[in-house]
Structure 1
Amino acid sequence: MQTDLDAYFQHLRSERHVSPHTLDAYRRDLIKVMGYCQKQQLGQWSELKSAHVRQLVAEQHRQGQSSRSLARLLSSLRGLYRYLNQEGRCAYDPAAGISAPKGEKRLPRLLDTDRAMQLLDGGIEDDFIGHRDHAMLELFYSSGLRLAELIGLNLDQLDVPAGLVHVHGKGNKERVLPIGRKAREALQAWLPLRTLSNPADGAVFVSQQGRRLGARAVQLRVRQAGVRELGQHLHPHMLRHSFASHVLESSQDLRSVQEMLGHADIGTTQIYTHLDFQHLAKVYDQAHPRAKRKQDSDP
């Protein structure tokens, strides 16, 4: 079973070009399934049946695993069996038709427009790190990049004068995104300073030693900016969520937001319509004369 897993992970790296973060998630899920198989004394992936998968999901659910985590585990398992079927190692998918228990749908956290402006218009230290971090924040919010897309970004993917960035997203699918005026200005201030570090490769965002920034470093810098400018926790995906919600709120064009985010399924993008409705409902409650709540002093 381990040999099949190793071959599958190599397939994901070399042919599917999945990100290291995604690969780690698949590995954690499938090692968990393999541990279950060993406890059930199953020696081959072809011996795992749908009843086993249902039992595993039920066990994990009782142990407190979220619906989202279980859905990802099932997705990882289905991906493995697609590969095994293609390789002739198995003729069925034991996870087919099995769904994770439904959990409470949590809406993504984001910044409202005023808080986003407060973050990005804060004081910028006129040095290497200050301009680099400001350019990262602006690009996250301007173009809705994923963390993996930003840290993987190279100079040849940027066309700052034209205001475009070519992004390699999930499954190595490319999409072309606009870069807003403020983000272009931030990049123009950062890129000359970048060369001072004698960069090791074409990475857009590098450390003072010239090495490409990793995910943890970017998460730390974003978190520190959130505390410094907003007094709150902030992570890169909150800026992506904010980008999506604010564009949808202004344009009402769900398909365009889907394309900009790189979502394969428009159902994934529709979560932002719920956020937009929450905003509209709040405005309604505050503005409509028959919806306003009575003040405590009202008789």
Structure 2
Amino acid sequence: MSACEDFLAYLQVERRMSAHTLDAYRRDLAALSGWSEAGSGDPLEALQADQLRQFIAAEHRRGLASKSLQRRLSACRSFYTWLLRQGRIEVDPTAGLRAPRAPRRLPQVLDADEAVRLVELPTDAPLGRRDRALLELFYSSGLRLSELCTLRWRDLDFIGGSVSVVGKGQRQRLVPVGSHACKALLDWRAEGAATAEAPVFPGRGGAFISQRAVQIRIKQLAQRQGLFKHVHPHMLRHSFASHILESSGDLRGVQELLGHADIATTQIYTHLDFQHLAKVYDATHPRARRRKTP
């Protein structure tokens, strides 16, 4: 096998990375390999720092966005770090390389009133109890879409008010489930005889519901509830995190609830919180608003 295939096998077997992440690494390394073959023809193990710098510059000229360039360079760094540890190269050519800085984009969130309006949808429609349980759990616990779609009834503890999920990197965590979400889930479970191993939200044939089906359904439900934003599952996760941080100020706690390995990922919500505070300040402080110049 090539060094690239060996590296991807390592990520899959030892690092237990998801299929989605593996595909991203495969695409990024394939782009580097294609660029090298079209130019010098050197194998990836032989590329030097100046060549990698030229590759990033070429991708930038091709119109690749800053965020995509950063991800592509991150894949290259991981690959060459692994080659160095394996003794296949003597110097890491990615050391000191930098991609163009991506502009920070704050995640969009629902305010508390909008979130309540969304989750408190009527349950008398077909699949109404399922939809209510799905939305309540999303907003109550801040789960990732993949985590929610693969839940089984055995993962829920209604007495303790918690759910056990396996997130990125196969890291397991226990997340609280609010009383409204517990009630909605119990109401949904009462509609059918669900075994402990059965999916909480089954799709066709009783298998786990697909992520795409949940995305489409949430968009439909948001419009039905009069929310004409682009509401999607991750917006509910962002809203959960923002509202918890706004109330508690406990950044480390929010990190644990979200299952972030690095607190720097969670810190974006402090910017959201400041954005809210700045609006309050501008609206209420007598000397905050900038006066228009005559």
**TM-score normalised by length of structure 1:** 0.88
Question: Is residue 19–residue 148 contact of structure 1 (8 Å, CA) maintained in 2?
Answer: no
Which of the numbers 211, 227, 231 marks the counterpart of 1:215?
211
Larger mean Cα displacement after TM superposition, 238-247 or 14-23: 14-23
Aligned to 1:55: 54
Give the paired residue count. Answer: 292
Aligned to 1:176: 174
Aligned to 2:232: 235
Aligned to 1:12: 11
Aligned to 1:276: 273
The 2-side partners of 1:23 and 1:153 are apart by 23
In the TM superposition, residue 259 of structure 1 has moved relative to its aligned partner by 1.2
Mark the runs of 5 or more structure 2 residues left unpaired by the alignment.
Answer: none
> 1:209-251: per-residue Cα shift (whole Å, max 9, x none)?
2011122122111222222221221111111111111000000
In the TM superposition, residue 195 of structure 1 has moved relative to its aligned partner by 4.1
1:1-299 alignment, distance < 5 Å? 3-127=2-126, 129-193=127-191, 195=193, 202-229=198-225, 230-292=227-289
State the secondary structure of the residue aligned to 1:167.
strand
In the TM superposition, residue 171 of structure 1 has moved relative to its aligned partner by 0.9
State the secondary structure of the residue aligned to 2:123.
coil
> 1:160-207: per-residue Cα shift (whole Å, max 9, x none)?
2211111211111111111111111121122233547x99x6432211
Question: Is residue 33–residue 43 contact of structure 2 (8 Å, CA) maintained in 1?
Answer: no
Percent identity over paired residues: 49
**TM-score normalised by length of structure 2:** 0.90
In the TM superposition, residue 92 of structure 1 has moved relative to its aligned partner by 3.6
Letter in 2 for 1:210: G
In the TM superposition, residue 110 of structure 1 has moved relative to its aligned partner by 1.0
> 1:251-281: per-residue Cα shift (whole Å, max 9, x none)?
0111111111112221111111111111011
CA shift in 2, pair 1:203/1:28, >3 Å: farther
CA shift in 2, pair 1:208/1:134, >3 Å: farther
The 2-side partners of 1:274 and 1:183 are apart by 28
In the TM superposition, residue 208 of structure 1 has moved relative to its aligned partner by 4.6
In the TM superposition, residue 126 of structure 1 has moved relative to its aligned partner by 4.7
CA shift in 2, pair 1:114/1:80, >3 Å: same
Question: Is residue 227–residue 233 contact of structure 1 (8 Å, CA) maintained in 2?
Answer: no
The 2-side partners of 1:51 and 1:110 are apart by 42
Letter in 1 for 2:33: M
Larger mean Cα displacement after TM superposition, 79-88 or 227-236: 79-88
